[in-house]
Amino acid sequence: MLLSWTSAQVRAAEAPLLADGVPLMQRASFALAGAVARVLRERRGRVVGGSVVLLVGPGNNGGDALHAGAYLRARGADVVALAVAPRVHDEGRAALEAAGSRVVVVDEDGVAAAAARAAGADVVLDGILGIGARPGGLTGVAGALVARLSARDDERGPVVVAVDTPSGIGVDDGSATGTVLRADRTVTFGAAKPGLLLPPAARLAGELEVVDIGLDLPGRPAIARLEGHDAAALWPVPGPAAHKYSRGVVGVVAGARRYPGAAVLATSAAVLAGVGMVRYLGDVADLVVARRPEVVAGPGHVQAWVFGPGVSPEDAAQRRRIEHAFDGVLHRAEPAVVDAGALELLPPRVPAHVVLTPHAGELARLLTARGHRVDREHVEAHPLRHARLAHELTGATVLVKGHVTLVVGPDGAAYAQSDAPAWLATAGAGDVLAGLLGAMLAGRAADVADDPSLAAALAAAAALVHGRAARTANPGGPVTARAVALALPETVAALLGADASRPTVGWTAGSTARATTGPTATAPTTGPTTRSADGPGRGGRMGR
Ligand SMILES: NC(=O)C1=CN([C@@H]2O[C@H](COP(=O)(O)OP(=O)(O)OC[C@H]3O[C@@H](n4cnc5c(N)ncnc54)[C@H](O)[C@@H]3O)[C@@H](O)[C@H]2O)[C@@H](O)CC1
Ligand SMILES: Nc1ncnc2c1ncn2[C@@H]1O[C@H](COP(=O)(O)OP(=O)(O)O)[C@@H](O)[C@H]1O
Ligand SMILES: [K+]
């Protein structure tokens, strides 16, 4: 699991080490130089002669960039620092100059030339602002320079490596207003920061690399991202004594004569995700059973529900079925997915074993109906804030769909999953997610009844599997919702095969795991201790 901590938590963890004279900046900048050296080797075969432009702001973030520049200069790279503030980190500047490179202060008249210089480099290191940034984007010379650079040619332009965070994002809230330089890669220190995982800023961070600088981060992480082994540990795997009822029965109230496809997709996804039985309630049972003969039409005992795909709240029969089924949800602790048309039928307060699955527009409608007037654009700009508000107002676990899918549960738990290709943004994909999550909740209904906060972890795992299924269905190309559902068995098998033996997870306090060999107080010689966000053990872990 990739965990993130707020800038205040990171600063608090740094403070005692800095007081003891631990050279955190040297650790950070040495690892950063290693990351840039790898980019240079990938791009041009070697570090020697590679051109690196440092964009340097007024604080320690600029200090990191300058020190990294000094290491790179010592390894033969051609390094120049463009200072976008009148003063930069003194020791960093001295280190860079001692290594034989220059710091050029950019003023308003020099912006065009500086941007041209940066655009011609192999690598641009964005060290303008880090965790000290006030949200709202870059202004002044930095803003003007970055605005020009942002028009870069992705194919031939420089690789942009962000130092700790892309400069100017909302480090703690993931906001991305104003001018921000989109990075191809972000090398972040101590732990990931929430803004690197949260939409909309997450898409400006590129590939994420977390560098262990030895911080001990106690307390609750701010935002988590599940990885494959986490989802595998959450998956309801049947034991040898399993039978169809013990594996879970999911009841699906979906579809209408006008929208029959949603019922087919939601039930198909539930069947293909591997639940014990799927019951369908609605007006298009003939079609559902014709497409999925495994589905049982009509009422009966269930462990979990899916309400809403293809349901219009004006449809009196479906409305009655959902209202009736909510009885079991509220009084027998049956978990439920509440999607699409059923969102308007949600009772005033529900327990956290109810998972709402709106997209941004549906979330805006739900909040507006409960007295908080917002529009879709506003929700998209601040999805975490609005997901939290929906959780507070309803009591439900809230999953907000999008490029990054957010899940908010009780006790501040929040997950940000970024597993899906943009090809998944296609009609019916949400119906598949609802059916898939319903199957998972049915398979683990007893555990969810014991600990409703598990619903949030299961919802995040469903988003992960959904995104991976889209990639499995057609790697790198368009997918249909039906193809995503059909790819579920293979996706789950791959997940369990590759990852089932890894440790289990949940939402509790955690601390960063240490790399075994960190850079030392003396000049590091053995290489940086970095962990990629795609590699094992990064960032920290949680126990359940
Ligand atoms: N404390 C330490 O020794 C360590 C710090 N580290 C680095 O230090 C960074 C944090 O350094 P700082 O606390 O100096 O903060 P930053 O370097 O992020 O920036 C702070 C400076 O930028 C100005 N500023 C903030 N928002 C602005 C805006 N929107 N427009 C223009 N100017 C703005 C502030 O007034 C302040 O002068 C981390 O992100 C990390 O890169 C790492 O080297 C690890 C160790
Ligand atoms: N840009 C994107 N990148 C990746 N996934 C996306 C993107 N936009 C939407 N999605 C995913 O596509 C699905 C769309 O669901 P939804 O909007 O409910 O569609 P429908 O109601 O037609 O089924 C969601 O799972 C969402 O997370
Ligand atoms: K930065």
The identity of residue 250, as a single letter, is V
pLDDT band (50, 70, 90) for residue 378: very high
Closest CA to 72 of 93, 47, 90, 91: 47
Residue 308 is encoded by which pair of tokens?
Answer: 């809403």
Of the ligands numbered here, which is closest to the C-alpha atom of 421?
Answer: 2
CA of 203 to the centre of ligand 3 (A): 15
Reported ipTM: 0.94
What was the pLDDT predicted at 135?
79
What was the pLDDT predicted at 96?
98
CA of 432 to the centre of ligand 3 (A): 38
CA of 37 to the centre of ligand 3 (A): 18
Closest CA to 225 of 382, 403, 3, 397: 3
Of the ligands numbered here, which is closest to the C-alpha atom of 259?
Answer: 2
DSSP state of 189: E
CA distance 185 to 30: 16
Does 535 carry a binding-site annotation?
no
Among 22, 131, 163, 181, which residue has the most ligand 1 atoms within 8 Å of its CB, making it the best to mutate?
131
Segment 211-232, tens digit of pLDDT: 999 999 978 999 999 999 999 9
Measured by CA distance, the residue closest to atom 4 of ligand 1 is: 25
What was the pLDDT predicted at 500?
54
The CATH number of the domain covering residues in 228-499: 3.40.1190.20
Task: Taking residues 137-164, report their average pLDDT.
Answer: 90
pLDDT band (50, 70, 90) for residue 155: confident
Measured by CA distance, the residue closest to atom 16 of ligand 2 is: 430
Residues facing residue 162 across a β-bridge:
126, 186
What was the pLDDT predicted at 403?
96
Greatest CA separation for the chain? 78
Does 297 carry a binding-site annotation?
no
CATH architecture of 2-219: 3-Layer(aba) Sandwich (3.40)
Residue 525 is encoded by which pair of tokens?
Answer: 């010689």
What was the pLDDT predicted at 152?
66
The identity of residue 108, as a single letter, is E
Backbone φ and ψ for 256, nearest 5 degrees, come out as -155, 170
Closest CA to 415 of 375, 469, 462, 380: 462
Among 264, 265, 338, 401, which residue has the most ligand 2 atoms within 8 Å of its CB, making it the best to mutate?
401
pTM for the structure as a whole? 0.91
Instruction: Say if ligand 2 is within 6 A of residue 429 CB.
Output: yes
What was the pLDDT predicted at 154?
66
Residues of the chain with CATH 3.40.1190.20: 228-499
Residues of the chain with CATH 3.40.50.10260: 2-219
Task: Taking residues 53-60, report their average pLDDT.
Answer: 98
What was the pLDDT predicted at 529?
30
Instruction: Say if ligand 2 is within 6 A of residue 424 CB.
Output: yes
Residue 284 is encoded by which pair of tokens?
Answer: 């298009």
Burial grade of 257 (CB within 10 A; 0-12, 13-18, 19 or more): exposed
pLDDT band (50, 70, 90) for residue 509: very low
Cβ contacts of 312-321, under 8 Å, gap ≥ 24 = 312/256, 312/258, 312/259, 312/341, 313/341, 313/342, 313/344, 313/345, 315/256, 315/341, 317/283, 318/253, 318/256, 318/282, 318/283, 319/345, 321/253, 321/281, 321/282
**CA-429 nearest atom, ligand 2:** 23
What residue has token string 């080797």? 41
- Residue 522: pLDDT over 70: no
Task: Taking residues 95-115, report their average pLDDT.
Answer: 97
DSSP state of 75: T
Instruction: Say if ligand 2 is within 6 A of residue 420 CB.
Output: yes
CA distance 454 to 355: 11
What was the pLDDT predicted at 223?
97
What residue has token string 């992960």? 464
For 437-472, the DSSP string reads HHHHHHHTHHHHHH-TTHHHHHHHHHHHHHHHHHHH
CA distance 339 to 343: 6
Segment 290-346, tens digit of pLDDT: 999 999 999 999 999 999 999 998 999 999 999 999 999 999 999 999 999 999 999
Residues facing residue 105 across a β-bridge:
83
Measured by CA distance, the residue closest to atom 40 of ligand 1 is: 61
Backbone φ and ψ for 352, nearest 5 degrees, come out as -70, -10
What was the pLDDT predicted at 35?
98
Contact 489, 443 (CB under 8 A): no
Measured in residues, the chain has a length of 544
Closest CA to 37 of 229, 187, 258: 187
CA of 169 to the centre of ligand 3 (A): 9
> Which residues have a beta carbon within 5 Å of ligand 3, which is an ion?
61, 126, 130, 162-163, 167
User: Secondary structure of the chain: what % helix, strand, coil (to 5)?
Assistant: 45, 15, 40
Given CA atoms 467, 5, 496, 308 in this order, what sign does their dihedral have?
Answer: negative
- Residue 526: pLDDT over 90: no
**CA-265 nearest atom, ligand 2:** 23
Instruction: Say if ligand 2 is within 6 A of residue 227 CB.
Output: no
- Residue 514: pLDDT over 70: no
Burial grade of 157 (CB within 10 A; 0-12, 13-18, 19 or more): middle
Does 411 carry a binding-site annotation?
no
Measured by CA distance, the residue closest to atom 13 of ligand 1 is: 132
What was the pLDDT predicted at 162?
98
